[in-house]
Homo-oligomer: A and B are copies of this chain.
Amino acid sequence: MVLPRVQVRELRRTYGFEEVAIVPGDVTTNPELSTTDLQIGPFRFSIPIVASAMDAVASPSFAGLMGKAGGLSVMNLEGIWTRYEDTTPVFDQITSAPKEKVTEVFQRLYTEPIKESLVARRVREIKATGAVAAVSMTPAVTKKLAPIAVEAGADILVVQSTVTTARHISNSFRGLNLSELKAQIRIPVLVGNSVTTSAALELMEQGIDGLLIGVGPGAACTTRDVTGVGVPQVTATMDSAAARDEFYARTGKRVVIITDGGIRTGGDLCKAIAAGADGVMIGTPFAQTKEAPGRGFNWGMASPHPALPRGTRINVGVNTSLEQLLFGPSHRTDGTHNLVGALKVSMSMVGATTIEEFHQKAELVVAPTIATEGKIFQRSGQI
């Protein structure tokens, strides 16, 4: 029997942080020469690190501290801070709930309605610290909450859902028109999350100022487990950065690429930037600082679907200060502290003094992690 010849599509290989490494350059510099500025619209930050819009991380006072440190913290306008005037008893309930009751506690606490007065108040509280006030919301509530936040003085708006595209087919409320939004409010708008070159280009065409990169980045992340959807962060960042470069070459407008998700160490951060990111968004490491409101716990934002699980409460522990996390000194060899120092050393090893130079000079190679028995011994020796 002669069978017809059938063609099967080939699958592209993608890469995450654990699988790549940065090749040292032919020229080196001193880390002290490195600058790590991140420019978002008219705002310039001396460190390219943004704190995630998570309730356990980004309180108004944390935003102030991040601002003093040279970075940015994004407040979630759909979380505890805009549902409750006094958040202390709310954090008490979350952090003291026994493990088996946490889901129930979350479900109860997060059904309290969002108050418009608190939206404005939280923005003003951030402004009062002297920091740039960045606020985050999902597309569904943007038309309603964004004007209130802007009116109260918000400097940067982040519109964020699990997957964001320029075109959304909807029979309900999610069809947010980004071009209209940009025309209406005059502050920089960051949008996310996306992972592909084509989605990034379409979003850039809407006039946005920055993109958050990251959907189901890790094999162990909930989006990937539940829906199978996800792209590892190195590939997602490279693809999105390619869109930024093409868009810039064509239009002269530079849209900021911020890698969001899966970054745990200085090494991860350096790889994200080397892959083309202008900055990174980080959650859990900030939740582990003593300045974070979460008291050693962290939990997800919201669910893309009412019947899918909300984020679990994770006991991440408090193991550092914001200062030490960002600038050291570090007593640990696993790269979890002194993120900015690590980035500067990494840049110096490839001879880059700015992040743009780092993009150009850093070569990434595939260098997989292989679990080995005698692993611990390999940690000795040179740093």
Contacts and interface: CB of A to CB of B under 8 A. Distances in A.
Given A266-B225, A327-B307, A341-B308, A380 B316 contact: yes
A307 B331 contact: no
Given A21-B229, A328-B307, A239 B8 contact: yes
Nearest to A205: B1
Interface-centre pick from A250, A353, A370 (highest chain B CB count, 10 A): A370
Nearest to A231: B23
A96 interface: no
Interface string A181-223: 0000000000001111111011001000000001110111111
A309 B383 contact: yes
A168 B284 CA distance: 36
A37 interface: no
Given A221-B379, A370-B219, A381-B52, A6 B226 contact: no
Interface stretch (A41-49, A77-85, A295-303): A295-303
A267 B214 CA distance: 17
Contact of A349 (B25, B32, B162): B162
Nearest to A166: B26
Contacts of A165: 24-28, 351
Given A218-B378, A381-B283, A382-B193, A367 B332 contact: no
A87 B262 CA distance: 45
Interface stretch (A12-20, A59-67, A121-129, A141-149): A12-20
Contacts of A108: none
Given A338-B307, A368-B370, A381-B52, A250 B4 contact: yes
Contact of A202 (B3, B194, B221): B3
Interface centre among A33, A167, A267, A298 (most CB of B within 10 A): A267
A136 to B, nearest CB: 11
Given A365-B14, A377-B316, A379-B221, A305 B31 contact: yes
